[in-house]
Structure 1
Amino acid sequence: MTTYGLSEEHVELANMVREFADEVVAPVAYEADRTKTLPLDVVAQMGDLGLFGLPFAEQYGGQGGDYLALCLAIEALGRVDQSIAITLEAGVSLGAMPIYRFGTEEQKQEFLPSLLSGKTLGGFGLTEPEAGSDAGATRTTAVLDGDEWVINGSKQFITNSGTAITRFVTITAVTGQREGGGKEISTIIVPSGTPGFTVEPAYDKVGWHASDTHPLTFADARVPVSNLLGERGRGFAAFLHILDEGRIAIAALSTGAAEGCLEAAVDYAKKRTVFGEPLSSRQGIQFLLARMQARVHTARLAWLQAARLRDAGLPFKTEAAIAKLAASDAAMDNARDATQVFGGNGFMNEYPVARHFRDSKILEIGEGTSEVQLLVIARSLGVA
């Protein structure tokens, strides 16, 4: 990491989380994946290390760090277990960050201390069966009835929404009509256990098995009017800002996954003997591993640049899209190539590369598909 111009503090953090990932996360990753169970004891230890509070002010229980620090931690975790890495990423970017960015002081004081300590988790409900990137297709509604919002609708693919420590889900909902006839989209905090709010059974997913993901339904669920998060009618616009930041974090996670595949492939190629020689002695394998290393390096440079722009208060939307596109491609390509190096063993779930192969595809979809990133980049060129 020292070749990337990181501060001494950032290097120490990255090394600390990398050691935690190797000693605590990796040993339980296979069983957690097999049983499709989020290991809450690991989450608690991440909280004790301060990982959930990294980019937040100390007055709310945070570590007073920056977004780059958070992404270094996510990358280190993603190297050994993407499910744990996305639990941290979503817990911060989609759970705590909306409260921190747009919440009232009362909301911050109520929710942030437990979120930043890792004692609770929050989710964000944007995607619906008919709506995701297309805000105009949002069908979930929230209607004022006295001093309460009455919510009806459904959400899908919501991370950290059904764990034993999930405290709330923030959702986007139609709260009225704009003057021009478009939908007014707002964000509302819905606490876990709210009558009429149902967390449906978890998905049977291709990957990220240990990550908690559920569909949600709302049937006349009532919450106080004070649960409005941010300005009424600015819900989707606010979330887009959160999403831009999240894309940097997903790029970091993807980079970690790509590096994990590279490390496993190099180790296996050196130990595996084929016709009396190490597999790594074959030039074809050497070139494949070299390309994998180039992808990791390029992906890391991309997300580091985006994170530094974000932390400096400079525009970073395009750079975040580039980082997310490049890094998610790197993760998927390295997972495929690592599996090929392992041969038949790469098809066995006991090997980490098999898990990375299953897990990495969602990196090209979640928090904005590759096609959305291409659209963002094309717009920056003035051609879309």
Structure 2
Amino acid sequence: METNMKHYLLALSIGAATLAGCQSPKEPNLVASNFTFAEQQLKYAFPKIDEARANEAQESRDKRIARQWGELTNPRNTEPDGSLRLVPSKDWTSGFFPGELWYVYEYTHDSFWKEKAEKHTEMLEREKKNGTTHDMGFKMYCSYGNGYRLTGNPTYKDILIESARTLITRFKPNVGCIRSWDHHADQWECPVIIDNMLNLELLFWASRETNDSTFYNIAVSHARTTMKNHFRDDFSTYHVVNYDTITGSPICKVTHQGYSDDSAWARGQAWALYGYTLCYRETGLPEFLEQAKHIERYIFTHPNLPEDLIPYWDFNAPEIPNEPRDASAATCIASALYELSTYVPEQKDLYKQEADRILENLTANYRTQQNGDNGFLLLHSTGSKPHDSEIDVPIVYADYYFLEALLRKNKLEKGEKL
């Protein structure tokens, strides 16, 4: 009852804030102003990328070559010393920057952005055969997937289908899931992380394009197994479930990037909300819609969710309110909410208002300096605080989901299909 009342009061406060904002005739269009900002920032980023590539330390270059990681491709984050970090194509974040470029092209229809998107996408082709990672969706669908959606390039389609075929080689039938990590084999038998839910979108797409139900069945199996084993009774999620590959039973449920094994890592909640929303879109199965609704309620009734709706990096971090925020969790949540609002008529206004408020607060208080911050769009993301990595810095996937959320807002308000 208490959490329901909090949800109701939050809805009232969001509605009042939204109405107040709508009454200001001078308020700039949130979507248009942010895409203008994004265009300027991304144009600033290109020479910074060239500079970072040219100035790569010899030690880093030697390591990359020795491990056959390929050339440096796209930005990942700003380092604590202010330098720009680029990553080779194998890095799980390599597809987000080209995805941003495709989103700017989608909004502007300017061929300049199409050419830039093609260049930064095609750096990743070698990953279509990389079966050592579960992150094929993040890398290939955010880049090639958006590119194919917007251009119909048949080469992109072929690359995506091969990428999907590579991804399903990691499926473990006895478990019912796609294995996430191969590293730390001494610790994990078959680790599955909540992040993996977003890689399922590539498989659903491949099933439609090839008429091969194998992709669909694996995606649904993974989603159902994750729903069964990753969630607590309150619909918070574990980060990692380690499975016995013979019995298919969970061995342990732990965290890797969250505060503790029993805590709710904020980006994990975002991955879960987004993942089950897309699974409902692709399958129409009510169980996935109900799961997404439960996860939304967990997030927005949590007593540690800040007033501006930008989560701390973990909902149970011990030093709240003196903990880093995670803008990347917020942007992913906002993007998911816009889509979820189209599936739940009785909650569509609330979900959209929550997403609107996130974008408004990010715009007002979390944007980077124009022509600064290496061309990133948002400050205050947290990659992995337990590993002292990417704490309170700009990170590329926050920007990607920020632009995606803005596009979805724009389409919703124009009555267009997402």
TM-score (norm 2): 0.27
Identify, as 1 or 2, the structure richer in strand.
1
